[in-house]
Structure 1
Amino acid sequence: MNKIYIVICFLLISFSVSAQQFSQYNTGTTYESFENTSVRSFIPDSSREYSFNFLIPNFNANAYITGDIQGSLKNRLFAKSPSYQSDALKTGFNKLNHLNANVNTYLLMLKAFTSLNGDVEMGLSYQIRGESRGLVTDETLLLFDGNAPKNFPNGAYDNIFNNSFQMQLYNQIGFSYRERINKQFAIGFKLSALLGIKYSKFNIDESHIAFDNVNDEATLAMRGKYYSSYVPGHFTSHDYLPTFRNPGASINLGTSYLTNDKITLQANIKDLGFIHWSSRSLVGNFDGVATIKDISGTHREDSIYNSAIQVFRSGGGAPRSFTTKTNARAELSASKTYWLDYDNDIKYIPTLIGSKEIWYTGFTAGLVNHIQYKNYTGTVTFTYDDLKLFNAGLQFMYKTPNIEFFMGTDRLINTGRLAFAALGNQTQIDHVGTYTGMDLYMGFSLKFGGPVEHPMNASFIPMGEKGFFGRLWNRLFKTDK
């Protein structure tokens, strides 16, 4: 079996979202302004009035694996002599491994500064996102190892393949609005139309396998439920293009407040939304049996995969629509700026962040440390989550009022280890730590157009009045003079 199918079988079958990109907090980049909607990306008297990424993707991608299957999967994918190296895996204990991943790619980011008095910014964005989650047992990898007499000595087992899976991929077209109400308070939102690309989900509630070592085969039975979105024909690159077949919507809300002690507090609700999948999608129960042939042969991976698909499709399924949630999160942060020299060339900005998934149990806490020297910023990030995973990351950023470029990782050590493993370093292939994973992100944008200037500095008539929220605030709290 080609390695790409191994990745599909084991990674895509059990991914979960871990989407935080904490390093961008309080950077003022165009990317951050679309994610943390109350944050400004323009600097009056310095910036030009339009910001654009010129269709250069700004992306964030991450993945990780916990549990006993780390070394086994890396040996199969990256070793010079691929094998599953199954000694660390255990049979009969139903040990679950978490496999997590996320992708968020902005293909278009366009923002404009529209009102000087109200400090108003408006923007359009187009992005592709992927969300998924699940679990996989040790025994699933042992089945692919091909040594049934050793790995499954009892001959028959119940409920050792009770895996789960959920994956959602969609296009997102957004309109954002940000306004500073007064010198202390700002508010922002992003309204998005979601256009679903693909959705898959299954839960295996019961499973049974019986081995026939004499005939080199096994009988596999599974019972559960599955969901599958409609994709005409075979899934191709054209299916990534936006269509109205699976519509949805989401909202991001953000506020920021500057206290008298110069502490900036932020609150964000991110990606709160839904997708309604086409009535030609399939929803069904499966309760079937398949025989896996040649279970120790060279083609066993194909045989096992095809037998599992045969069982999933045994229930047929009924065409009907269904609605799914997007993976919404609530985040709170607090930050403060410290100047480290008399000339105000070096500043330090620490930020404390807490992020909670709204529909699931995931929680992550982070500490982001920006150290800026003139136009250069280095960032050290530490995070800790509910799976007891500790991460350290680095970011490099070059940012002027009109040019910004950044790249980094929020999982530095593990990304490095996985890179060396992918290059064939056997030490890193065999290494089993708390988790195996990677995290990479990069972004770029430029500002152009006329300068954003205050009246005293203006070379032309300045723009606009207070925005909608500012006028509403003045009327509610009678702040107009």
Structure 2
Amino acid sequence: MLINCKTARCILLLTLAFAWAQPVAAQQFSLYGTGTLWDSFENPSQKAFELDISRQFASNFLFLNSGANANFSGPGKAAVKNSILYENGLSYTPLDVDSRQFNRFNVSTNNYLLMFRLLKTVKYQRELGFSWQTRAETQGILHNQALIIFKTRTDSSLNGVMQYLDRKGKDQLSTTDIEAQSYHQIGFTYKEQYNKRFSYGVKLSYLSGIAQNSLKVSSAELIPGTNTFNVDGDLKSSYNYHDIDRGYITPGFKNPGMSLSLSGNFKLKNGVYVLTNLKDIGFIRWSKNSYRNNESIDINPLGDSNDQLDYIQNSLVKQHYTTLINGKAEALVNKEIGFFKPSLLISKSLFNHSGDIVLINSYNYKALNLSVSGAYNLNEYYQFGAQVMLKSPNVEFFIGSDNILQSYTSTVLLTQNEESRKENFNEGIAGAAAYIGFALKFGRIVSHPQNENYIPGINHRMPGTGILHKLFGNRD
């Protein structure tokens, strides 16, 4: 994996940089159970149409429905921020190499480029949908020792290898486990109202992989008398950095995959609403032109970065492999109490440590919907969010953040002038999140049979308005 880097720290930060480079997008907790077009694609049993008031078709008309959720927890928050902002930022960051805490990070993106949905039948309220979205999923765990190894020698600090040798705790380099992948998801949804209290939905998707990087260290030992580590683990990359072009971005069949979402919701007699999801269970098969190394290699983090990366590149062999996407199991419970609707959402990733427990409070006044949320993630961080939505039967617009306080703090830290940033050198970035969306319904209003004022063949169109009539006139 060859890339031009000025310092060896890029080896460790490579996957982090891949994650931060993605467009902004997130889980959007406050949109669960809102009946928006986004909600109907993320939770396929959710209806997007209301009989007698909604028009038959709904779309975002290529308006990007997007958001971002990036979180970092652990003692290395300031170190990662400084590595992004400064050439030798890590060298000035105090890190406890004997700490029992681990650094965990999670970055997820979900961008709907196109959404189209229609109400197919009034009976059973069957809805069909098509969507095209791009997603990115990054998660990882690493110890402070994995960060200080890439510290460089300065007048005020020893290099990270010496600090590693002086540690009192055990070797924690083997805890390093980082993965990032991005892909297109082209989905088809079907929803049916089985009876008055229960509806179900299915989303079947074709996946087209864009890029994948992962690093899993099983052991790392310092070779005596040197600054070189013998690292044993599994390194994967779906591409060579020399060969990146537009062909990697467009969807195709080079890196194919499939995913399935199953969803059901229940309305209990006491008014309690329950939504359950088994969401995005799937895989991507990366092509035979991908790269992998699952053998031990020697790395000198204080050596020339280009030489090190050349060495790593030469150790890789072309090989196809398969990765899972971030499937989840979810449950939402809420109840409307007048204009107020409290909700409890539990969302657990099936293939990694991440998971969220969320409390959502929504307030409705006519077309205005305001929501506030509080979430605890199993990676040991909290989020506080807010959302503003304008929603009528046929138009919807929303903007919000799942992590509004940290988003503001991170924006301030990253946009300050250089002098101000140096004053806040040991303040870390814990996370950021934002999202925005729009959708519009069009076509005729779909009604219950007893309220229907549309009769096919009679008021389908006005006489004399057909295309053939306009071209050839009346028939004899």
CA drift of 1:358 comes to 1.8
CA contact (8 A) 1:110 1:125 kept: yes
Give, in whole Å, the separation in 2 of the partners of 1:97 and 1:10.
14
Q: Which residue of structure 1 aligns with residue 52 of structure 2?
A: 45
Aligned runs of 1:443-454 on 2, under 5 Å?
443-454=437-448
Distance 2:65 2:322 in 1: 29
Q: Distance in 2 between matches of 1:49 and 1:280?
A: 45
1:372 corresponding residue in structure 2: 364
Q: Could you say which residue in structure 2 is the equivalent of 1:431?
A: 427
Whole-Å Cα distance in 1 between the matches of residues 219 and 280 of structure 2?
Answer: 34
Partners of 2:141 and 2:113 in 1: CA distance? 31
Deviations 1:280-315 (A, max 9, x none): 32333232224456x6xxxxxxx34x4553453453
Select between 319-328 and 122-131 the one with higher mean Cα deviation: 319-328
- 1:97 and 2:97 aligned: no
Aligned mates of 1:28, 1:191 — CA distance in 2: 20
Q: Distance in 1 between matches of 2:236 and 2:279?
A: 25
Runs of 4 or more, structure 1, over 6 Å off, are 2-7
- Is the 2:52–2:445 Cα contact (8 Å) retained in structure 1? yes
Quote how far apart the aligned CAs of 1:361 are: 3.3
Match of 1:123 in 2: 129
Letter of the 1:331 counterpart: E
Select the residue among 206, 211, 214 that pairs with 1:193.
206
Instruction: List aligned pairs for 1:123-272, cutoff 5 A.
Output: 123-147=129-153, 149=158, 151-153=160-162, 156=165, 159=171, 161-162=173-174, 163-209=176-222, 218-230=227-239, 234-272=243-281
Provide the secondary structure at the position in 2 that maps to 1:38: coil
Residues 86, 415 of structure 1: alpha-carbon distance in 2 compared, 3 angstrom cutoff: same
**Closer, same or farther: CA 231–312 of 1 in aligned 2, 3 Å:** closer
Aligned to 2:296: 287
CA distance 1:154–1:116, shift in 2 (3 Å)? closer
Output the TM-score relative to the length of structure 2.
0.83
Paired AA for residue 404 in structure 1: E
The question of whether the paired residues in 1 share the 8 Å contact of 2:26 and 2:433 is answered with no
Partner of 2:412: 420
Secondary structure of the residue aligned to 1:430 is: coil
Tell me the CA shift for residue 220 of structure 1.
3.8
SS at match of 2:33: coil
Q: Decide which of 439, 452, 462 is 1:458's aligned counterpart.
A: 452
Give the counterpart of 2:355 among 350, 363, 369: 363
- Amino acid of the residue matched to residue 176 of structure 1? T
Structure 1 residues 71 and 228: alpha-carbon distance in aligned structure 2, compared to 1, 3 A threshold: closer
Change (3 A) 1:311 1:267: same
- The aligned runs of 1:294-305 (5 Å cut-off) are 303-304=304-305
Name 2:71's counterpart in structure 1: 64
Q: Is the 8 A contact 2:264 2:275 kept in 1?
A: yes
The structure with the largest strand share of the pair is 1
CA deviations 1:349-387 (Å, max 9, x no partner) are 111111122223333211111101110111001111222
The CA RMSD measured in Å over matched residues stands at 3.1
Question: Corresponding residue for 1:440?
Answer: 434
Q: Give the C-alpha shift of residue 316 in structure 1.
A: 3.5
Using the aligned pairs only, state the percent identity.
30
Taking the aligned partners of 1:156 and 1:7, their CA distance within structure 2 comes to 19
Secondary structure, counterpart of 2:288 in structure 1: coil
Shift of 1:64: 1.2
CA distance change for structure 1 residues 84 and 156 in 2, over 3 Å: closer, same or farther?
closer
Q: Counterpart of 2:331?
A: 332
TM-aligned CA deviation for residue 165 of structure 1: 1.8
Unaligned 5+ segments in structure 2 are 458-476
Are 1:405 and 2:412 an aligned pair? no
Contact 1:350 1:369 in 2 (8 A): yes
**Is the partner of 1:338 in helix, strand or coil?**
coil
Q: Residues 207 and 418 (structure 1 numbering): CA distance in 2 closer, same or farther, change over 3 Å?
A: same
Moved more, 193-202 or 147-156: 147-156
Q: Gaps (5+ residues) in structure 1?
A: 296-302, 340-346, 464-481
Q: Which amino acid aligns with 1:223?
A: D
- Read off the aligned partner of 1:141 and give its amino acid letter: L
> What whole-Å deviation, never above 9, does each CA across 1:208-236 have from its counterpart, x for those lacking one?
44798xxxx94343222222225695223
Shift, 1:455, TM fit: 2.9
For 1:232-257, what per-residue CA distance to the aligned partner results, in whole angstroms no more than 9, with x for missing partners? 95223431101101111111111111
Instruction: Mark the CA change 1:195 to 1:44 in structure 2 (over 3 Å): closer, same or farther.
Output: same
Structure 2 letter corresponding to 1:98? R
Letter in 2 for 1:334: V
